Amino acid sequence: MVTIERMEVQRTIAADPATIFKVLSDPQGHVDIDSSGMLMDATGDPVTAVGDSFVVHMDREALNDYPMGLYDVTVTITTLEPDREIAWTILGKIRPQIGHVYGYILEPAEGGTLVTSYYDWSSIDPAWKEANIFPVISEGALRGTLGILSRTIARSKDSK
């Protein structure tokens, strides 16, 4: 579902919310499930509270939309309810800061967990609204990430 300034996609994943949350709260988990190809690596510890952060090493060439090359961003957690919801904003070198939010909501469901991935740019800085470049990530990319998350969870179960 896409509204004017928020996009949401859902998928049921055959795992409990705690297993999924473990991947989503781990910086390397973000790299592992990224469908855009931009996330190259991450530095930092798993997050446990609002305000926690970690660094993601990016390569914008994967999208081939802006010539930014290799760069780092800081992911800062804005919502964290263990096994239920996690959301973050991204701080980088660009000024003014953009202010978009990515997140996941986890709800127990028949067959596992209903995972809602969302991307919200409703509160971005006015300078970025005027640039008319949002959404940066497509609905297909959000869906792809949920598919990769499902595969990652299934593989981790198989290796145990």
Q: Which residue would you say has higher pLDDT here, 66 or 55?
A: 55
Q: 53 lies in a domain?
A: yes
In the structure, what pLDDT confidence band is assigned to residue 42 with cuts at 50, 70 and 90? very high
Angle, in degrees to the nearest 10, between helices 17-24 and 139-158? 110
User: At 40, which CATH number?
Assistant: 3.30.530.20
3 state SS for 67-87: CCCEEEEEEEEEEEECCCEEE
Q: Is residue 57 included in any domain, yes or no? A: yes
- Model pLDDT, residue 63: 66
Question: Which one-letter amino acid corresponds to residue 103?
Answer: G
Q: Does 42 reside within a domain?
A: yes
Those residues whose C-beta lies under 8 Å from the C-beta of residue 117, and which sit 6 or more positions away, are 8, 9, 10, 102, 103, 104, 142, 145, 146
For the chain, the domain total comes to 1
Mean pLDDT of 77-94: 90
CA distance 83 to 40: 26
> What is the predicted pLDDT for the residue at 135?
77
Query: Rounded to two decimals, what is the model's pTM?
Result: 0.88
pLDDT tens digits, residue range 110-158?
999 999 999 988 887 777 677 676 777 788 989 999 999 999 999 987 6
111 found inside a domain: yes
Q: Is residue 55 in a domain? A: yes
Report how far residue 92's alpha carbon sits from residue 95's, in angstroms, rounded to the nearest whole number. 8
Is residue 1 one of the residues assigned to a domain? no
Residue partners of 86: CB distance under 8 A and separation at least 6:
21, 24, 25, 47, 77, 79, 80, 103, 104
Which residue range is the domain that position 27 belongs to?
6-158
- Please check whether residue 39 lies inside any domain of the structure: yes
Query: 3-class SS at 102?
Result: strand
Say how many CA atoms lie within 13 Å of 104 toward its Cβ: 27
